[in-house]
Amino acid sequence: MKYYHVDVFSSQALSGNGLTVIFHEDELSEQTMQRLAQEFKQFETIFLRQTGERSFRARIFTVEEELDFAGHPILGAVSTIHQDIYPREGSISVQLELNHKIVRADSARKLDYYEAIMNQGTPHYIGTVDEAAASELLAALNLSPSHRYPGLPLEVISTGLPYLIIPLASGLEQAAIVVDDLEERLGKVQAKFVYVLDVANKEGRTWDNLGQVEDVATGSAAGPAGAYLQKWKRCDLSERIILEQGRFVGRPSLLYVHMDASTGDVYVSGEVKMLVRGEFL
C-alpha cells in the first residue's frame, strides 16, 4: 500500500488542513483502518480502493470513528488520485463511493498545487433551535446570547453531515467547548457537530465534540454554512464566497462555496498541496 500526506485548503505546504490518503487494492477491515488513522493522527484519514474507471470506494476515519461524509478528505483524495494515477492530465473528474452516497469531485492542476471541487448536493434544512435550547447551547460553547448575530436563528443544516450553525456577531475568539456532553446536546437537535460562524466576516470554527482538537478547515461544514448564509440573505451563492477558518490554530485556510441556481446543489472547493509520498512496508 502507498500513502500521501497532503494539505487541503491551501496552496502552501505546512498550511491548511493536513490529510492522509491511503491507496489499497485488497479489502481492509474496519479495525485496521481505524488503527491506521490513529497511527497517522491526522484529523481525518481517507482510504481509497479503485473499483472502476475513475471510480473509487472511499472510507473516512478520524482517530475516534468512521465518518459517512467529510469535505477535506474528498478534496484531498481527488487531487491525490490526479497526482498518482492521472499525472499527465490537466484535469480529472472522479466518483467516490462513500457509505451512503456517491460524490463527484474534480481536480485541476496548477503550477505546483491542485484545485479541487466537490458537489455536496442539495442542502437539507433540518430545523431551527428554540430560544431556550439556543441559550443552553451558547453557554456550552462559552458564549452568551449577546454574542449572537441579531435576527438569525441557530439552525441545523446538512449536506452529508448535520451541523448546528451558530451565527455570531462577536465572540468567535472566545468560543470553546466547555461541557463534556456536547454530543448528547447536539443529538437533541439532530446535529452531529457544531459550527460557530462570524456572519459578517465569514469565518468559522469547529472542534471534535470533546473540544480536545480544533479542526483547521472543515469542508463538510462549509456547504451548510454557505447554505445558511444564502438562506438568510447574508450572501449570494450564485457568486463564489470565501469562508475563512484555521486562524486560531495557526493554519489559516480558505474554503470556497457556491450554489448552482438551477439545481440548488452546493459546491465546495479549495487548493491542495502535495507534501509526502510513502509506502507501507
pLDDT (tens digit, 9 = 90+) per residue, 12-63?
Answer: 999 999 999 999 999 999 999 999 999 999 989 999 999 999 999 999 999 9
Architecture of the domain made up of 124-263: Roll (3.10)
Q: What is the pLDDT of residues 147-157, one digit of tens each?
A: 999 999 999 99
Q: Does the fold of domain 124-263 match that of domain 2-121+269-279?
A: yes
Parse the chain into domains and list their residue ranges: 2-121+269-279, 124-263
Predicted structure pTM score: 0.94
The pLDDT of residue 18 is 97
Res. 275 pLDDT band, cuts 50 70 90: very high
Cell of 182: 456536547
For 66, the enclosing helix (H) or strand (E) is strand 66-67
The answer to whether 210 and 246 are in contact (CB under 8 A) is no
| Cα 75 to Cα 97: distance, rounded to the nearest angstrom | 14
Any bridge partners for residue 4, and if so which? 21, 277
Cell numbers given for 99: 457509505
Does the 2-121+269-279 domain belong in CATH 3.40.50.800?
A: no
